[in-house]
Amino acid sequence: MLEAAFVFLPMMALFFAMIDFPFAIFIQNALREGVREGARFAITQQTGASGQDAAVKAVVQTYSFGFLNNAAIAAGTATFNITYYDGTTLAAVTGPGSNAAGNICVVSATIQHTWMAPVWQKTGILTFNASSSDVMEAPPGGILPAR
């Protein structure tokens, strides 16, 4: 019985690690894909009437397989940011015209995943970050979408 306990506990630890580590890699890759697609969508400026930032956020949430969602953002376990920078001075710009052609759009997101092993939750190891940026294109028809 004692020998079985000495073998069973490390084997179970390895088994759960073989599940948790690939899942963590999947979450990181999903978040990276989400912000990459969000930045790609933002620079084309084909976001419709709902507002550019809201449309980009919806694209990021779609491509991140639900790991980045409004409930997680409200609970403080996730963050989502869109920042625009002037293309020549690299200073952050806000307000109307910040999404003009030539400016740089940076989409970033953070997820603190709480499902996995409780030991890892306390250390903050399971905080996933991703960001992507690109230069804004000229809007279709020459009219900037509302942010």
pLDDT score for 103: 92
From the first residue on, what is the mean pLDDT of each consecutive set of 10 residues in the chain (147 residues)? 86 83 87 94 79 90 89 86 92 88 93 67 74 89 80
What is the arrangement of strands in the sheet containing 92-93, beginning at the earlier edge strand? 92-93, 78-85, 104-112, 127-135
Provide the pLDDT for residue 97. 83
Q: In terms of Cα–Cα distance, which of 96, 95, 89, 82 is closest to 134?
A: 82
What letter does residue 27 receive in the DSSP assignment?
Answer: H
Q: What is the pLDDT of residue 135?
A: 92
pLDDT of residue 130: 94
> Which pair of tokens denotes residue 119?
């030991």
- Among 38, 47, 48, smallest CA distance to 105 is for 38
